[in-house]
């Protein structure tokens, strides 16, 4: 660095990309960030970071950062306007829509990437102040399945683990998780495990993680539910279960044992393609393990039967007694940096603090804690994301506020999203960048500050609340989302509702109170300073909590959150794949993470020259050499992939890491979701991104 940029101070904060929640040391000159290094004594990453973390600052500086609100004029041009004009337009248009079509005709779509305090402010403003009922997060696309699976099985949405469990297991089972690139620092913790663990990977693709596994079960796509039931079948029939634990702590075991009877190794071999010997060996490995941890992520969550599949994983942990002890657990790894904050405090499908909109006692508690009129709190849950989109198609929703997310790229049914924009009377998009596919279509664009330009907290996958700090100035007139929400409250005329929320930490203090006596009780966290000094704190942390981080895994006492203290086994038969390959579309398309250097719709990662150098710029499709030969496709040639919904031109990446009959396209490229099928898990309404029927052929557009 030149002398003028030599740092004169350092501060620590959490990374703003993924749910790992690494600590980063931000080096400052005159209170402004000049560079960063991973924090050596942060308990999550102990000095490690992935490329996205290293490049976190560089993406703040980009010519397409929003610096002024942009309002579309009568000629369709986006014109820069001052904040007061923007907020008047925002409130007038939304109020007009509500007057004409009813209060619930405006809705919001938000994110797992804002600090918890901003989520809570938005959820409170829209539901208690603006009279909205419907608002959901893009977290619906990544972890809604895990939420429902945990609530039904444990009685509360409670991932039970700490990251130290990666290092303490002697058997690690990864289902639908390419940990190596999707959560590289968690993978490093697996690599540090001193117990030479068995690593069993269930994944149709030979991913980077599968290559490093000791057992790779390359099952047929979406046969995971049958395979997991098949493992349970063997464990039960061999007597490899923890009967005393089941008797004391688990409900519905006999029914479950009866249910999995038909999932014989022979049947599962036929369905999954995994030999009965391999299945038996995997079950035996789990039986032999003293500390078995089972982990899952998007391969499970993004499925038309994700909830029951996640619960099949939970069931394995419960019947073998692998929960509540070091190195064990049924552990959902989440995606975005604050998906866990959204799960508890976004006020979308949960009332603030993991409460229930439909429960009068919960509404009363929230009303008295926040000193608001109880009648302001809706008595119904919001529609899920897909229902909001449908509501727009049916002209029930006419105004939409999209915050910090890019559904024009990421929504499973991209063609429908384009249609809904045409049907809306007013679309407001609030984002760091004015150039996203979604922001470009907005009637009103509001420029937002990004990570590093504002304060708040994130909650990571292991339930650790970490601190976010302001270490850079947002460009031009861009404002923190928190300030935009406060402005909206002011212009809407409900400022007094939120009088005591002047700063993000004021919201944090309210959320603490709301968490009292809940499983996520954080009343013992005094303030931001305490979070800063402690390197984040995992929930629960009630007043007087003395446990260290390494002890703060859940269910150590065998008590779950259902009223009888027991966990519930949940199960049902597998459903048919909604769109299996057929004569016309003979391949099965899966989508997912491409590299460790790409993030979601690449809104941020594409801004870093370093990151751009680490992944292919052009969309590509992975296909097996046999299929390439059959279709007359050469490596690196241009191909066309078609589904019933659209066509995509991509480069052929011919690789044996994908099985014949299957294709894979990373989700980071805009065209990918022109192909995917809008189908959802019935319990969580999470989209099933990883299965649709397609065909592939050499392209004539070279
Ligand atoms: Fe940031 Fe996740 Fe990378 Fe850690 S692993 S540096 S939290 S993106």
Binding pocket residue ranges, ligand 1, CB within 6 Å: 15, 17-18, 20-22, 45, 49-50, 52-53, 184-185
Which residue owns the Cα nearest ligand 1 atom 6?
Answer: 53
Instruction: Report if pTM > 0.90.
Output: yes
CB atoms within 10 A of CB 569: 23
- Which of ligand 1's atoms lies nearest the C-alpha of 49? 6
Cα of 2 vs centre of ligand 1, distance in Å, is 28
Which residue owns the Cα nearest ligand 1 atom 4?
Answer: 22
Q: One fold for both 70-134+351-502 and 144-333? A: no
CB 593 within 8 A of CB 302: no
What is the CATH class of 144-333? alpha beta
Q: What is the distance between the alpha carbons of residues 207 and 213, in angstroms, rounded to a whole number? A: 10
Cα of 403 vs centre of ligand 1, distance in Å, is 22
Does position 2 have pLDDT exceeding 70, yes or no? Answer: no
Predicted pLDDT of residue 1: 61
What is the CATH class of 70-134+351-502? alpha beta
Predicted pLDDT of residue 427: 97
Cα of 535 vs centre of ligand 1, distance in Å, is 15
Does position 702 have pLDDT exceeding 60, yes or no? Answer: no
Helices (H), 238-345: 243-249, 253-260, 265-272, 276-288, 298-301, 306-319, 339-345
Cα of 165 vs centre of ligand 1, distance in Å, is 18
Domain ranges of the chain: 3-60, 70-134+351-502, 144-333, 587-698
Q: What is the distance between the alpha carbons of residues 375 and 697, in angstroms, rounded to a whole number? A: 59
Predicted pLDDT of residue 198: 98
Predicted pLDDT of residue 409: 85
Cα of 467 vs centre of ligand 1, distance in Å, is 14
pLDDT tens digits, 143-171: 999 999 999 999 999 999 999 999 999 99
Whether domain 587-698 has CATH 2.40.40.20: yes
Q: Where are the beta strands (DSSP E) in 644-699?
A: 647-654, 662-666, 692-698
CATH of the domain spanning 3-60: 2.20.25.90
Q: What is the mean pLDDT of residues 41-53?
A: 95
Q: What is the distance between the alpha carbons of residues 447 and 428, in angstroms, rounded to a whole number? A: 11
Q: What is the distance between the alpha carbons of residues 6 and 8, in angstroms, rounded to a whole number? A: 7
Q: Where are the beta strands (DSSP E) in 460-544?
A: 464-470, 537-538
- Which of ligand 1's atoms lies nearest the C-alpha of 38? 6
Beta bridge partners of 336: 18
Q: What is the mean pLDDT of residues 543-557?
A: 85
Does position 127 have pLDDT exceeding 70, yes or no? Answer: yes
Residue 199's H or E segment, with its range, is strand 198-202
Q: What is the distance between the alpha carbons of residues 128 and 83, in angstroms, rounded to a whole number? A: 23
Predicted pLDDT of residue 349: 82
Q: What is the distance between the alpha carbons of residues 244 and 507, in angstroms, rounded to a whole number? A: 44
Name, in order, each residue with C-beta under 8 angstroms of 91's C-beta and a sequence gap of 6 or more. 488, 491, 492
Query: Is this prediction's ipTM beyond 0.95?
Result: yes
Cα of 51 vs centre of ligand 1, distance in Å, is 8
Q: What would you report as the CA-atom Rg of the chain, rounded to the nearest whole angstrom?
A: 25
**Could you tell me which of 661, 675, 680 has the C-alpha nearest to residue 218?**
661
Does position 384 have pLDDT exceeding 60, yes or no? Answer: yes
Mean pLDDT of the chain: 95
How would residue 594 be classed by pLDDT, with cut points 50, 70 and 90? Answer: confident
Q: Which of 17, 40, 462 to mutate to test the pocket of ligand 1 (most atoms within 8 A of CB)?
A: 17
Q: What is the mean pLDDT of residues 257-284?
A: 98
Residue 20's H or E segment, with its range, is none
- Which of ligand 1's atoms lies nearest the C-alpha of 599? 8
């Amino acid at each position: 660095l030149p002398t003028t940029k030599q740092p004169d101070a350092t501060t620590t904060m959490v990374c703003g990309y993924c749910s790992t929640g690494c600590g980063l040391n931000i080096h400052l000159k005159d209170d402004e960030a000049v560079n960063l290094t991973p924090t050596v004594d942060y308990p999550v990453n102990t000095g490690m970071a992935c490329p996205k973390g290293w490049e976190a600052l560089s993406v703040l500086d980009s010519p397409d950062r929003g610096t002024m609100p942009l309002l579309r004029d009568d000629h369709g041009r986006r014109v820069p306007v001052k904040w007061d004009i923007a907020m008047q337009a925002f409130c007038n248009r939304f109020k007009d829509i509500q007057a004409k079509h009813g209060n619930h005709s405006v809705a919001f779509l938000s994110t797992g990437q804002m600090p918890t305090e901003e989520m809570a402010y938005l959820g409170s403003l829209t539901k208690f102040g603006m009279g909205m009922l419907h608002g959901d997060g893009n977290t619906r696309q990544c972890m809604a399945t895990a939420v429902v699976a945990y609530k039904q099985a444990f009685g509360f949405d409670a991932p039970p683990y700490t990251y130290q469990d990666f290092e303490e297991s002697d058997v690690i089972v990864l289902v639908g998780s390419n940990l190596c690139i999707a959560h590289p620092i968690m993978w490093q913790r697996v690599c540090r495990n001193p117990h030479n663990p068995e690593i069993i990977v269930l994944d149709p693709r030979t991913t980077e993680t599968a290559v490093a596994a000791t057992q790779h079960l390359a099952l047929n796509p979406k046969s995971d539910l049958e395979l997991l039931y098949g493992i349970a079948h063997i464990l039960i029939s061999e007597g490899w279960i923890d009967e005393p634990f089941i008797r004391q702590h688990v409900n519905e075991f006999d029914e479950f044992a009866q249910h999995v009877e038909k999932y014989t190794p022979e049947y599962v071999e036929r369905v999954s393609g995994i030999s009965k010997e391999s299945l038996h060996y995997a079950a035996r490995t789990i039986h032999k393990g003293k500390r078995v941890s089972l982990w899952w992520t998007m391969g499970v969550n993004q499925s038309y039967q994700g909830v029951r599949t996640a619960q099949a994983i939970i069931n394995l942990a419960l019947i073998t007694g692998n929960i509540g002890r070091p190195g064990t657990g049924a552990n959902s790894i989440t995606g975005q940096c604050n998906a866990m904050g959204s799960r508890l405090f976004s006020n979308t499908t949960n009332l603030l603090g993991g409460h229930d909109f439909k429960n009068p006692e919960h509404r009363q508690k929230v009303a008295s804690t926040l000193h608001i009129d109880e009648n302001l709190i809706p008595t119904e849950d919001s529609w899920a994301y897909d229902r909001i989109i449908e509501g727009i198609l049916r002209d029930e929703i006419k105004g939409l506020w999209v915050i910090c997310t890019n559904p024009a790229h990421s929504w499973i049914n991209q063609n429908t999203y384009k249609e809904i924009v045409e049907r809306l009377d007013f679309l407001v998009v609030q984002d760091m960048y004015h150039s996203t596919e979604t922001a470009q279509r907005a009637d009103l664009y509001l420029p937002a500050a990004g990570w590093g330009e504002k304060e708040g907290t994130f909650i990571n996958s292991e339930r650790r609340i970490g601190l976010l700090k302001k270490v850079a100035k947002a460009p031009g007139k861009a404002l923190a989302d928190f300030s935009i929400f406060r402005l909206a409250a002011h212009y809407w005329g409900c400022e007094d509702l939120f009088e005591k929320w002047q700063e993000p930490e004021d919201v944090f203090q309210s959320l603490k109170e709301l968490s009292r006596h809940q499983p996520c009780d954080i009343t013992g966290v005094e303030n931001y300073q305490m979070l800063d000094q402690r390197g984040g704190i995992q929930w629960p942390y009630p007043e007087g909590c003395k446990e260290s981080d390494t002890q703060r895994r859940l269910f150590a006492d065998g008590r779950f959150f259902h009223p009888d203290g027991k966990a519930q086994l949940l199960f049902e038969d597998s459903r048919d794949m909604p769109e299996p390959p057929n004569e016309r579309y003979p391949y099965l398309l899966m989508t997912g993470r491409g590299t460790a250097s790409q993030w979601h719709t690449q809104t941020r990662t594409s801004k870093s020259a370093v990151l751009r150098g680490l992944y292919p710029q052009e969309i590509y499709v992975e296909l097996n050499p046999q299929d390439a030969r059959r279709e007359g496709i050469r490596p690196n040639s241009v191909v066309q992939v078609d589904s019933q919904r659209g066509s995509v031109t991509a480069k052929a990446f011919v690789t044996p890491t994908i099985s014949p009959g299957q294709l894979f396209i990373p989700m980071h490229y805009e065209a990918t979701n022109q192909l995917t099928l809008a189908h959802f898990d019935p319990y969580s309404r999470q989209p099933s991104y990883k299965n649709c029927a397609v065909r592939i052929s050499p392209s004539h557009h070279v």
